[in-house]
């Protein structure tokens, strides 16, 4: 897997103006950076998760055919995770697969979704159920895009960054003292943490490309996080639900953690989201967690980072509900 490269917007312009390139972006990025796309062969998808679907894929493929793309075309995704996942999947499918380059423009995409070659779209409301592993030939990072990112999307990226911090002691030690500056978008603090976060994701993906085992640890905070995200109707950003999920999962399994560690974990997560835990019952959260596609066996799995290790804890739905019930009013 090629490592992400740090490059300037001017260099990105050269790439997207290259020979036989097809650029895919979304309406927000196009509106904010329209001059970047001048003269390029490109398509624009409507921003938002709702458009990460097969209909968009079909439309993009038709557009590629009509604009003369062939087997030698390189697709370049310029956008957040939605654009990256969709364009990557288009590249995996177009004429049985063409090369692609990912140019992430959100914090989440720069430290997480652009790394690892997972591409795909949602079908029938089920997230990421149709996709392919298709590694981009290059991942081009330019932090200048982040200047226009809304705060909600910034916090979204921070949620995944603290998840990486819980999984890697060096990142944990580097993040804890400066967490408030990261959240406040101080780029002097953010830039090195982004670098560490992206390298961490690369190392996990490299060791476990197809999610045999190691990659599962990236689900920290996501068992409860995903359930609450759905039940709360996506009011907050995904990363904020991950932070809430981290709080809930660590508190449910507090007796497995050193108390100082527990307090540090909560401090990191609360810095990312000061929002109260949504008013949901433990029954509702248990039901939604059971429905998660990762819990095929009927048990609900929580990945708990303990500082030295990550424990995979499988609970029956009854055990899960009981542990959640015991702490839900304190979350
Ligand atoms: N492939 C993977 O391994 C992986 C990992 C994690 C998440 N994901 C996927 O990533 C998606 C989420 O990605 P995301 O958080 O980047 O969301 P997103 O792509 O929807 O971007 C968030 C919002 O920010 C806007 N935006 C993008 N760049 C901007 C910029 N520079 N300035 C201002 N606005 C900008 C977008 O138009 C959008 O409205 C989800 O679909 C998720 O499933 C994939
Ligand atoms: Zn996530």
SS (H, E, C) 176-235: HHHHHHHHCCCHHHHHHHHHHHHHHHHHHHHHCCCCCCHHHHHHCCHHHHHHHHHHCCCC
∠ CA 239-245-249, rounded to 5°: 150
To the nearest 10°, report the CA torsion of 35, 41, 47, 51: 180
CA of 239 to the centre of ligand 2 (A): 6
Distance between CA atoms of residues 233 and 223, nearest Å: 16
118 CA to centre of ligand 1 in angstroms? 14
* Catalytic residue flag (residue 28): no
The C-alpha atoms of residue 127 and residue 137 are separated, in whole angstroms, by 25
Give the residue among 195, 142, 119 at the shortest CA–CA distance from 164: 195
Supply φ then ψ for residue 118, to 5 degrees.
Answer: -80, 120
How far apart are alpha carbons 242 and 162 in whole angstroms? 9
Domains defined along the chain, listed by start: 5-148 (3.40.50.1970), 151-330 (1.20.1090.10)
Atom of ligand 1 nearest to the CA of 237: 15
Q: Give the model's pLDDT for residue 211.
A: 64
What is the three-class DSSP state of 33?
coil
| pLDDT for the residue 293 | 58
Q: Give distance in angstroms: CA of 145 to centre of ligand 1.
A: 13
Nearest protein Cα to ligand 1, atom 9: 81
Residue-level pLDDT, tens digit, the chain, 331 residues: 778 999 999 999 999 999 999 999 999 999 999 999 999 999 999 999 999 999 999 999 999 999 999 999 999 999 999 999 999 999 999 999 999 999 999 999 999 999 999 999 999 988 899 999 999 999 999 999 999 999 999 999 999 999 999 999 999 999 999 999 999 999 999 999 999 999 999 999 888 766 667 888 999 999 999 999 999 999 999 999 999 999 999 999 999 999 999 999 999 999 999 888 999 999 999 999 987 756 567 899 999 999 988 999 999 999 999 999 999 998 8
């Amino acid at each position: 897997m090629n490592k992400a490269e740090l490059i300037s917007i001017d260099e990105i312009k050269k790439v997207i103006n290259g020979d036989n390139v097809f650029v895919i972006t979304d309406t927000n990025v196009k509106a904010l950076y329209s001059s970047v796309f001048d003269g390029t062969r490109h398509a624009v998808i409507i921003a938002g998760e709702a458009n990460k679907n097969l209909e968009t894929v079909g439309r993009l493929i038709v557009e590629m055919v009509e604009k003369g793309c062939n087997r030698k075309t390189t697709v370049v995704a310029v956008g957040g995770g939605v654009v990256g996942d969709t364009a990557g999947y288009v590249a995996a499918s177009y004429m049985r697969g063409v090369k692609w380059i990912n140019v992430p423009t959100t914090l989440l995409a720069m430290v997480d979704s652009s790394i690892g070659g997972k591409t795909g779209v949602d079908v029938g409301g089920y997230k990421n159920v149709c996709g392919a592993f298709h590694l981009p030939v290059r991942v081009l990072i330019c932090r200048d895009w982040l200047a226009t990112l809304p705060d909600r999307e910034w916090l979204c990226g921070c949620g995944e960054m603290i998840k990486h911090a819980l999984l890697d002691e060096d990142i944990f030690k580097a993040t804890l003292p400066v967490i408030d500056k990261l959240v406040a978008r101080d780029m002097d603090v953010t830039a090195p943490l982004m670098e560490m976060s992206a390298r961490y994701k690369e190392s996990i993906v490299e060791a476990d490309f197809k999610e045999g085992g190691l990659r599962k640890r990236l689900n920290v905070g996501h068992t409860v996080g995903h359930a609450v995200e759905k039940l709360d109707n996506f009011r907050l950003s995904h990363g904020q639900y991950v932070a809430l999920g981290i709080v809930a999962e660590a508190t449910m399994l507090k007796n497995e953690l050193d108390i100082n560690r527990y307090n540090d974990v909560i401090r990191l997560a609360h810095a990312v989201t000061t929002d109260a835990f949504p008013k949901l019952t433990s029954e509702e959260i248990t039901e939604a967690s059971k429905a998660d596609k990762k819990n095929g066996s009927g048990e609900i799995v929580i990945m708990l980072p303990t500082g030295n290790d990550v424990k995979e804890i499988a609970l029956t739905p009854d055990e899960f509900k009981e542990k959640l019930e015991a702490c839900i009013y304190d979350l």
